[in-house]
Amino acid sequence: MRRFRSLKNLQQDPTQALCDGLAQPKSLLALSGKAWTGVLAVGRENLLLGALWQRAVEAGVSERLPQWAARHLWGAALTAETNAAALRWELEHLDRGVIRQLSPPLVLKGGAYVLDGLPNAAGRIAADIDLLFRRDEVERAETVLYYEGWFGTHHTPYDQRYYREWMHELPPLQHVKRGTTLDLHHNILPATFAVVVDPERLLEAAQPVEGMNCLHLPAPRHLVLHAIVHLFSETDWDRGLRDLYDIHTLIEHYQTQYGPAFFDELLEEAEALGVGWLMEPAIWCCQNRFRTQVPDGVRGRLRDHAARLPARWLGHRMFHHALNGRISATPRTDALARSFVFLRGHWLKMPPLLLARHLFYKAFLAPREDDEGPAQNAQQRQ
């Protein structure tokens, strides 16, 4: 287990100070004013200030924090409450609408955390809504949602092919009046990914949401695994620390609820889905940053899915630095690490020839921002 660093080190490493505050809120009482400046910057960058306030309140230390710092945390928590209320309203509206004609979809990520009242939902801001439909129904869902004001984006022929043939979701929908973004998934990993995941395992284990007509939630093991594969297959880790905190908090919550057996179930499901090799670095990062409790037997089984020692050591170092905030004592190493996860994510997402074609198109053939208006520019980013 990692011990708390000295005050000097906390000042030098605001990312770890933030992680320590989330894992053990009483550590916040030892922070100096300079250290707080770094923690606030990294927390704002990763949308974790609201979560930090919630953790401080739960630990009974919120009233002992510096008043100027507490105001930042409290304001972020209020913003997150408004976001959660709007997210719940959107989900209730969808649940009463035309998608009732289809098989029950799964609510993923932030929406699932809010509907299930999970601890990581407190203080969390969700940018969009994610629903998982069966592959043969996802385009029908897109069609019927049009009549409720959900319009498609990413209209170029290349982008349409990119999403519909190669990815695990359709081009994002946006509500014509409210501007809310809705992602319709048919899997949790792209069709061209290094491994093929069977989404039926998630759909068959789904659980209904109390008070809802058709929306379902993934089983606990699938909520955790989706959080893991979402982050550790990504190319952009700008808010990776927020996603890692989701993984840590979900594991902590379900271990408390179900005991050590939950980890056995989680690892067995990861092996069944073929993503045990993504789970290994995820658990390492959780232990490294948040000191997540992991049973000894599970650590041994995870090593069976790890890369060989030199590659495993390098990968762990790169993941560690990619999670650092922009304020860091190692900015050059952090930038190299973010490049590493960017290239790794693309390499996992597509086979080499398709990847080369995709990157060539994005670099030289995709419409330039100068040629389009702001709305079209936003739609072209993927």
Q: How confident is the model at residue 371 (pLDDT cuts 50, 70, 90)?
A: very low
Kindly tell me if the per-residue pLDDT of 363 is higher than 80. yes
CATH number, residue 135: 3.30.460
210 lies in the same domain as 123: yes
SS3 category, 108 = strand
Q: How confident is the model at residue 174 (pLDDT cuts 50, 70, 90)?
A: very high
CB 245 within 8 A of CB 51: yes
Domain end point (choices 160, 188, 218): 218
Kindly tell me if the per-residue pLDDT of 164 is higher than 60. yes
CA gap 249, 257 in Å, rounded: 12
Count how many Cα atoms sit within 13 Å of the Cα of residue 9 in the half-sphere of its side chain: 7
Domain end point (choices 218, 246, 263): 218
Residue 223's pLDDT is 98
Q: Over the range 45-73, which residues count as b (16 or more CB within 10 Å of their CB) and which as e?
A: bbbbbbbbbbbbbebebbeebeeebbebb
| Stretch 313-321: mean pLDDT | 96
Question: Strand 150-152 to strand 181-185: parallel, antiparallel, or no bridges (unpaired)?
Answer: unpaired
166 lies in the same domain as 271: no
Residue 256's pLDDT is 95
Q: Is residue 372 part of a domain?
A: no
CA gap 290, 293 in Å, rounded: 9
Enclosing domain of residue 233: 219-350
Residue 296's pLDDT is 85
Residue 14's pLDDT is 97
Bridge partners, 217 (sequence order): 207
pLDDT tens column, 202-251 = 999 999 999 999 999 999 999 999 999 999 999 999 999 999 999 999 99
Quote the number of domains for the chain.
Answer: 2
236 lies in the same domain as 208: no
Kindly tell me if the per-residue pLDDT of 153 is higher than 60. yes
| Nearest Cα residue to 23 out of 245, 223, 258 | 245
Mean of the per-residue pLDDT values for the chain?
92
Neighbours of 316 (CB within 10 A): 17
Q: Taking each helix axis from N to C terminus, what angle separates 296-303 and 261-273, rounded to the nearest 10 degrees?
A: 10
Residue 372's pLDDT is 45
**What are the CB-based long-range contacts (under 8 Å, 24+) for 67-74?**
69/36, 69/39, 69/40, 72/40, 72/44, 73/43, 73/49
| Stretch 102-126: mean pLDDT | 97
Q: Is residue 278 part of a domain?
A: yes
321 lies in the same domain as 223: yes
Residue 303's pLDDT is 86
Q: Is residue 226 part of a domain?
A: yes
Q: Is residue 26 part of a domain?
A: no
201 lies in the same domain as 297: no
Q: Is residue 340 part of a domain?
A: yes
Q: Which of 90-104, 183-197, 350-364 has the lowest mean pLDDT?
A: 350-364
Q: Over the range 104-142, which residues count as b (16 or more CB within 10 Å of their CB) and which as e?
A: bbbbbbbbbbbbbebbbbbbbbbebbbbbbbeebbeebb
195 lies in the same domain as 129: yes
154 lies in the same domain as 92: yes
Q: Is 178 or 9 the better-scoring residue by pLDDT?
A: 178
CA gap 197, 347 in Å, rounded: 17
Residue 369's pLDDT is 55
DSSP conformation letters of 300-348: HHHHTTSPPHHHHHHHHHHHHHHTS-SS-S-HHHHHHHHHHHHHHHHHH
CB 133 within 8 A of CB 141: yes
232 lies in the same domain as 202: no
| Stretch 288-311: mean pLDDT | 89
209 lies in the same domain as 263: no
Positive or negative, the Cα torsion across 226, 380, 173, 239?
positive
Kindly tell me if the per-residue pLDDT of 129 is higher than 90. yes
Q: Is residue 379 part of a domain?
A: no
Residue 374's pLDDT is 38
Q: Is residue 185 part of a domain?
A: yes
Question: Strand 173-175 to strand 181-185: parallel, antiparallel, or no bridges (unpaired)?
Answer: antiparallel
Q: Which of 8-12, 110-114, 130-134, 314-318 has the lowest mean pLDDT?
A: 8-12
pLDDT tens column, 15-52 = 999 999 999 999 999 999 999 999 999 999 999 999 99
Q: Taking each helix axis from N to C terminus, what angle separates 331-349 and 309-322, rounded to the nearest 10 degrees?
A: 110
89 lies in the same domain as 214: yes
103 lies in the same domain as 192: yes
Q: Is residue 210 part of a domain?
A: yes
What is the chain's Cα-based Rg?
A: 21
Q: How confident is the model at residue 75 (pLDDT cuts 50, 70, 90)?
A: very high
Domain end point (choices 170, 190, 218): 218
210 lies in the same domain as 243: no
Question: Strand 150-152 to strand 129-132: parallel, antiparallel, or no bridges (unpaired)?
Answer: unpaired
Residue 39 CA, chain-centre distance (Å), reads: 20
Whole-angstrom CA distances from 243 to 121, 236, 325 are 12, 11, 14
